[in-house]
């Protein structure tokens, strides 16, 4: 019993008892946490009074449309570019590889933006509406990020809150320096990025891990540029890292997956 006996005697209202730990713990409470669009457990989440059916219908239509749009763009725009990039990479044709990289960067970035809206706005808001979950801060203005640090703090709020609560603050509480705590969070994120790629592809090449670890020096560089010159330059560097960084990793994984899956390249 985590509550003192004096407090237990003072809680005559049964409804008040049920919302305090440990009386809130139940299968229903656990299932709600697993389904709610959050990674951080709370005894009581902010709730809405009902479900807005018109709002839920708009999000559902967005999910259906954007999912089909993503598939069409990948099949018609990205797959042909990747297929034509295998041989130049294998033959170390630098100019052609750069051309394929730039040609891939445009559709990839567009698809990434569509996915952001699809998941963080449409899917999570639809799930929150069904669950009557009132906290709808799933992202902030990451597109205005002047530094890499702010981008990672703003573009995925559920994961950011989990990292702060379960990694960053515990490290600070045991005397870990702020910079070391930030690096630890980046490394943890790098591990999970690599895990999500390596397991489905059945290969370990650490490109995603390397890409995330490169965010550490890049975060310091964007902070220096924003302070030394202008925040606009910092924002430009953030966008360039998003536009060019992902295609590099995609080409690397596709090439190595093709090499390990097929015996000849022609």
Q: Provide the pLDDT for residue 266.
A: 55
Q: What pTM, to 2 d.p., does this model score?
A: 0.82
Q: Provide the pLDDT for residue 2.
A: 47
Q: Provide the pLDDT for residue 229.
A: 87
- Centre a 10 Å sphere on the Cβ of residue 235 and count the other Cβ atoms it contains: 20
Q: In whole angstroms, how far apart are CA 116 and each of 26, 145, 186?
A: 34, 16, 20
Q: In whole angstroms, how far apart are CA 42 and each of 30, 50, 195?
A: 11, 20, 27
pLDDT in tens, the chain (266 residues): 444 455 545 555 544 545 677 777 888 888 888 889 999 888 888 888 888 899 999 999 999 999 999 999 998 888 888 888 888 888 888 888 888 888 888 899 999 999 999 999 999 999 999 999 988 889 999 999 888 889 988 989 999 999 999 999 999 988 888 888 888 888 888 898 888 888 888 888 888 888 888 888 888 898 899 888 888 898 999 999 889 888 888 888 888 888 777 656 55
Q: Which tokens sit at 48?
A: 């809405």
Q: Provide the pLDDT for residue 121.
A: 92
The C-alpha atoms of residue 96 and residue 32 are separated, in whole angstroms, by 51
The C-alpha atoms of residue 151 and residue 259 are separated, in whole angstroms, by 34
Q: Which tokens sit at 168?
A: 């960053």
Residue 180 phi, psi (nearest 5):
-65, -35
Contact 146, 236 (CB under 8 A): no
Q: Confirm whether 90 is a catalytic residue.
A: no
Task: List the chain domain ranges.
Answer: 58-138, 144-265
In three-state form (DSSP H/G/I as H, E/B as E, the rest C), the secondary structure along the chain is CCCCHHHHHHCCCHHHHHCCCCCCCCHHHHHHHHHCCCCCCCCCCCECCCCCHHHHHHHHHHHHHHHHHHHHHHHHHHHHHHHHHHHHHHCCCHHHHHHHHHHHHHHHHHHHHHHHHHHHHHHHHHHHHHHCECCCCCCCCHHHCCCHHHHHHHCCHHHHHHHHHHHHHHHHHCCCCHHHHHHHHHHHHHHHHHHHHHHHHCCCCCHHHHHHHCHHHHHHHHHHHHHHCCHHHHHHHHHHHHHHHHHHHHHHHHHHHHHHHCCCCC
> Choosing from 121, 160, 166, 193, which is the catalytic residue?
193
CA dihedral sign, ordered 65, 70, 72, 77: positive
Q: Provide the pLDDT for residue 254.
A: 87
The C-alpha atoms of residue 216 and residue 163 are separated, in whole angstroms, by 16
């Amino acid at each position: 019993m985590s509550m003192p006996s004096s407090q237990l005697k003072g809680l005559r209202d049964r409804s008040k008892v049920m919302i305090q730990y440990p009386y809130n713990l139940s299968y229903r409470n656990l299932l709600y946490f697993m389904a709610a669009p959050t990674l951080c457990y709370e005894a009581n989440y902010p709730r809405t009074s009902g479900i807005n059916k018109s709002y839920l219908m708009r999000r559902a239509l967005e999910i259906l449309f954007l999912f089909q749009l993503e598939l069409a763009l990948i099949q018609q725009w990205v797959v042909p570019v990747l297929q034509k990039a295998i041989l130049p990479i294998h033959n170390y044709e630098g100019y052609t590889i750069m051309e394929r990289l730039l040609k891939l960067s445009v559709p990839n970035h567009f698809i990434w933006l569509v996915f952001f809206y699809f998941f963080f706005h449409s899917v999570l808001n639809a799930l929150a509406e069904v669950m009557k979950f009132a906290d709808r801060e799933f992202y902030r203005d990451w597109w205005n990020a002047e530094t890499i640090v702010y981008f990672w703090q703003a573009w995925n709020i559920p994961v950011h809150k989990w990292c702060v609560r379960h990694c960053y603050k515990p490290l600070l509480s045991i005397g870990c320096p702020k910079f070391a705590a930030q690096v630890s969070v980046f490394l943890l994120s790098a591990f999970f990025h690599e895990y999500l790629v390596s397991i489905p592809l059945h290969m370990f090449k650490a490109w995603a891990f390397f890409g995330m670890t490169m965010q550490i020096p890049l975060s310091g560089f964007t902070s220096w540029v924003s302070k030394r010159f202008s925040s606009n330059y910092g924002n430009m560097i953030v966008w360039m890292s998003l536009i060019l960084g992902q295609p590099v990793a995609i080409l690397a994984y596709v090439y190595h997956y093709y090499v390990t899956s097929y015996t000849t390249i022609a």
